């Protein structure tokens, strides 16, 4: 069942909140403040390179580990970061560009990091500190221009929280710390939020990986059932033309009947040779799930309503329905499915 409407205070800074007016909200605001200040000082230490990397490898671990020690940083008592995997530097001290691109993609695709800004990104210690190591190498970049600009300001100007975006301001509860010293830029946060929502709308207009993979398993299973020798060739690592054809067709799917027992397809034009075009009708409530018939919709309702089936803009706006890397929960491959048991 769908719960009560959520209370959303996004892009608000509650300056007048007190223990008397809202004790739970005030206490949460104090926790926000404590968390943000600690992460801010890690950020400052990163900007001036006030840390030392100590080899903490163990023969029991498959990869080398480092410990970051912060005794050089005297503005705030920072705890050491332990069990951290830092990449072996290249001759110029930089991190392999492929690894940097991977971490940059993680941050830019994670809507929580995008809305929370650089303070939110410091929680992913492996990604963040590898970017910092690259910033202090001859490469002189984290791979994200906004991060570079902010680290340079913190390094060469006064280290002030007011130049760092508040990591809670764009979240649903808003900033609950009445004395929050961090930046509250509503226009910038709203632009980023709308970009995130637009990306979700694009995903809702695409075939989900669950539908695509279910269709692929059905097609390849039928292929191997009809021609057992093909499965042996596939398991031996040999190319199978029929398998290549199925994968090529998979990329040309426009819509799939959401009923797992059906999986009929509406194709992108031109229709692949040997395939039948099937008309689709979409769910009138959510407008994102498609069926080839009313019968298929009835058969799939028990599953579909748990996704859940909600009006389109509610699906877009409800953060609880989206994984941190932008996938809609309940609609992805089983291995990435966090909402079903």
The tokens of 99 are what? 């690894």
Segment 79-98 mean pLDDT: 91
The residue with greater pLDDT, 265 or 61, is 265
Quick check: 341 pLDDT over 70?
A: no
150 assigned to some structural domain: yes
Quick check: 335 pLDDT over 50?
A: no
Segment 206-233 mean pLDDT: 83
224, 191: one domain: no
Q: How many CB atoms lie within 10 A of CB 264?
A: 19
Of 203, 237, 261, the last residue of a domain is 203
Segment 237-245 mean pLDDT: 80
291 assigned to some structural domain: yes
The band of 2, judged by pLDDT with boundaries at 50, 70 and 90, is very low
Calculate the average pLDDT of the chain. Answer: 89
191, 213: one domain: no
341 assigned to some structural domain: no
Task: Give the CA count within 13 Å in the CB-facing half-sphere of 317.
Answer: 13
Segment 173-194 mean pLDDT: 96
pLDDT in tens, 4-35: 555 678 999 999 999 999 999 999 999 999 99
The tokens of 6 are what? 């959520």
Q: Does residue 274 have a cis peptide bond before it, meaning omega lies within 30 degrees of 0?
A: no
324, 241: one domain: yes
Question: CA 243, 246, 248 angle in degrees (round to 5)?
Answer: 110
270, 296: one domain: yes
The residue with greater pLDDT, 235 or 130, is 130
The residue with greater pLDDT, 65 or 309, is 309
10 assigned to some structural domain: no
CA dihedral of 117, 122, 123, 127, whole degrees rounded to 10: 110
Quick check: 56 pLDDT over 90?
A: no
The band of 336, judged by pLDDT with boundaries at 50, 70 and 90, is very low
73, 145: one domain: yes
| Cα–Cα distance for residue pair 320/3, rounded to 1 Å | 12
Quick check: 290 pLDDT over 60?
A: yes
Quick check: 340 pLDDT over 80?
A: no
Taking alpha carbons only, the member of 36, 116, 113 closest to residue 76 is: 36
Of 146, 174, 203, the last residue of a domain is 203
> Residue 58 has what pLDDT?
57
7 assigned to some structural domain: no
137, 67: one domain: yes
34, 49: one domain: yes
53 assigned to some structural domain: yes
133, 248: one domain: no
* Domain membership of residue 285 as a residue range: 206-328
The band of 238, judged by pLDDT with boundaries at 50, 70 and 90, is confident
> Residue 329 has what pLDDT?
85
pLDDT in tens, 57-73: 654 554 568 899 999 99
176, 231: one domain: no
**Three-state SS letters, the chain:** CCCCCCCCCCCCECCCCCCCCCHHHHHHHHHHHHHHHHHHHHHHHHHHCCCEEEECCCCCCCCCCEEEECCCCCCCCCCCEEEECCCCCCCCCCCCHHHHHHHHHHHHHCHHHHHHHHHHHCCCHHHHHHHHHHHCCCCCCCCCHHHHHHHHHHHHCCCCHHHCECCCCCCCCCECCCCCCCECCHHHHHHHHHHHHHHHHHHHCCCCHHHHHHHHHHHHHHHHHHCHHHHHHHHCCCCCHHHHHHHHHHCCEEEECCCCCCCCEEECCCCCCCCCCCCCEECCCCCCCEECCHHHHHHHHHHHCCCCCCCHHHHHHCHHHECCCCCECCCCCHHHCCCCC
237, 185: one domain: no
154 assigned to some structural domain: yes
Segment 119-145 mean pLDDT: 96
Overall number of domains in the chain: 2
Range in 72-76, 162-166, 197-201, 208-212 with the lowest mean pLDDT? 208-212
289, 225: one domain: yes
The residue with greater pLDDT, 131 or 231, is 131
The residue with greater pLDDT, 120 or 157, is 120
242, 288: one domain: yes
> Residue 226 has what pLDDT?
75
196 assigned to some structural domain: yes
Of 159, 176, 203, the last residue of a domain is 203
């Amino acid at each position: 069942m769908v719960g009560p409407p959520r209370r959303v205070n996004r892009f608000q800074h509650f300056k007048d909140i007190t223990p008397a007016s809202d004790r739970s909200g005030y206490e949460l605001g104090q926790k926000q403040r404590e968390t943000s200040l600690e992460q801010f000082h890690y950020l400052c230490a990163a900007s001036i390179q006030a840390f030392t990397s100590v080899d903490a490898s163990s023969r029991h671990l498959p990869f080398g580990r480092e410990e970051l020690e912060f005794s050089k940083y005297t503005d705030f008592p920072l705890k050491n970061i332990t069990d951290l995997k830092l990449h072996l530097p290249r001759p110029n001290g930089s991190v392999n560009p492929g690894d940097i691109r991977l971490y940059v993609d993680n941050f830019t695709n994670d809507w929580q990091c995008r809305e929370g800004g650089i303070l939110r990104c410091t929680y992913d210690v492996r990604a963040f500190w590898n970017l910092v190591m690259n910033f202090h190498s001859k490469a002189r970049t984290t791979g994200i221009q906004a991060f570079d600009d902010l680290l340079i300001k913190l390094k060469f100007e006064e280290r002030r929280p007011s130049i760092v975006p508040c990591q809670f301001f764009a979240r649903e509860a808003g900033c609950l710390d009445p004395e929050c010293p961090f930046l509250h830029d509503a226009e910038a946060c709203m632009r980023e939020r709308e970009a995130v929502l637009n990306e979700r709308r694009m995903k809702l207009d695409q075939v989900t990986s669950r539908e695509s993979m279910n269709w692929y398993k059905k097609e390849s299973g039928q292929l191997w059932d009809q021609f057992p020798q093909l499965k042996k060739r596939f398991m031996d690592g040999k190319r199978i033309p029929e398998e290549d054809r199925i994968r090529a067709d998979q990329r040309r799917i426009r819509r799939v009947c959401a009923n797992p027992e059906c999986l009929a397809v509406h194709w992108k034009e031109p229709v692949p040779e040997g395939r039948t075009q099937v008309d689709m009708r979409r769910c009138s409530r959510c407008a994102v799930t498609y069926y080839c018939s009313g019968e298929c919709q009835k058969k799939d309702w028990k599953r579909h309503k748990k996704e859940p089936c909600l009006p389109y803009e509610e699906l877009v706006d409800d953060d609880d329905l989206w994984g941190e890397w932008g996938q809609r929960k309940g609609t992805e491959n089983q291995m990435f499915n966090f909402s079903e048991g």
